[in-house]
Amino acid sequence: MMTAAEYIQSLRDLGPRNIYVLGEKIQNPVDHPLIRPSINCCAMTYKLAELPEYQELMTAKSALTGRTINRFCHLHQDTEDLIKKVKMLRLVGNMTGSCFQRCVGMDALNAVWSTTYEMDAKLGTNYHERFRNYVLEWEEKDWTVDGCMTDPKGNRSVGPSEQADPDLFVRVVEKRQDGIVVRGAKMHQTGILNSHEILVMPTQTMRPEDADYAVAFAVPADDPSLIYIYGRQSCDTRKLESTKVDVGNVNYGGQEAVVIFNNTFVPWNRVFMCGEIEFTGMLVERFAGYHRQSYGGCKVGNGDVLIGATAAIADYNGVAKASHVKDKIVEMVHLNETLYACGIACSAEGRKTASGNYLIDMMLANVCKQNVTRFPYEIARLAQDIAGGLVVTMPSDADFNSPEVGEWCRKLMVGDPKYPTEHRQRMLRLIETMTLGAVAVGYLTESLHGAGSPQAQRIMISRLANLEQKKALARRLCGIDPDGLF
């Protein structure tokens, strides 16, 4: 396994990449002030695995080699593995207070593993053996892999092959003896600039006319054909200022980017689906299910941080003993633990797939994510309620340090005199960034749209609800159908 320091060095060792940030091509993403906080988050997944007190959660025995590996590279072998995954994500969320990005690849790993196995069993293809060899290298090198699914999609009323511009979905443009050439783009790619590899999957169930878009493959993140465009975040340029106080979360942050596949060549040994439209739905649903389970861990870990910040600002404001403040914090805890309960439940009810790895309970995973689209927003609302209006009107750190008005800032922004004004200042900025600023991308907007928008979960819940069986229960109890038990 890599250490955190080795991980950061491994990103420096990647070849030159075409990365654009705020309209300019950059040469050194590792030390760029907008990108480095997200690298620190991903590095935490390596750092915690180094520490003896966290190794039970952060590491696992490889199902392929028996060696100890980072759990982010692991194929889930039982429901205990699924539960440990959720607990691990909560831990890393606690330590970063942000999206730490590496879970997307772990979820893609497990989804592609079982899908390729079942695809080969039915169609006689050899995708699973190719993927197995890829996973062995993944484990051995302790890669961070970007799970790459969401296409731009263009006009949502028509399918991929009907778009006016075919580049709005990733597709195969050429099949060669030695591999395929792909073209298109993927959006909202969490942590892609922090990754060693990119694992691409189709974004939706494909129809016969969309066969060229039914493609899954892996490419190195430094493939020279790739173009990256870094996503803009709220309050992001604060990271470019000399002070870190106004950033809120001093060392950590999330990352999203667009990646463009500009006639990218993929050798056949790294192609895991190519035209098998009937398995696109399985792959999409399994990846989404795993990722919806993930949110019962990572967003709960972030929620713990926000609840802690809210309780602290209540102390600093001198309102911690007010009954309504206590009750609001209890509600925040209740909502957060409900999300965690959903993550644990869908894990405990998991089942073994034909390939040997474990899949979560799909209904409960979708219920988990449906709650995640709502509860963090209420937790954030309550945090802002308790923090007060100063969370969005406080002067900048430059004003606090100004020889002209700094004394006034420190004098007027005081709360309970038991606590330094600077502590109140820093805590308010943390609440601001988690509910409104750059970190809110990972805690709020990602809670809404990550792993599929709210309607995507409702469609799955409707599909899995088995209403006919529930009707039969009601008919039996009211006497329409015979009881048959007495």
Residues belonging to the active site: 99, 103, 190, 256, 291, 295, 298, 446
Residue 190 in marked binding region: yes
Alpha carbons 16 and 441: distance in angstroms, whole number: 28
Question: How far apart are alpha carbons 226 and 259 in whole angstroms?
Answer: 7
Ramachandran assignment for 479, one of left (phi > 0), alpha (psi -120 to 50 degrees), beta (any other): left
CA 267, CA 271: separation in Å to the nearest integer?
7
Contact call for residues 271 and 190 (beta carbons, < 8 A): no
Q: How far apart are CA 99 and CA 321, in angstroms?
A: 32
Which value, to the nearest 10 degrees, does the dihedral of the CA atoms of residues 242, 248, 250, 254 take?
Answer: -110
How far is the CA of 427 from the CAs of 122, 175, 243, 336, 347, in angstroms? 56, 55, 15, 20, 34
Burial class (CB in 10 A: 0-12, 13-18, 19+), 159: middle
Written as six digits, the tokens of 256 are: 């999203």
Neighbours of 5 (CB within 10 A): 12
Q: Is 103 helix (H, G, I), strand (E, B) or coil?
A: helix
CA 145, 150, 156 angle in degrees (round to 5)? 175
Closest of 425, 427, 430 to residue 413, by C-alpha:
425
Helix residue ranges, H only, 173-279:
none
CA 289/CA 298 separation, integer angstroms: 15
One-letter amino acid at 306 equals L
**CA–CA separation, 100 vs 255, rounded Å?**
9
Binding residues for FAD: 190
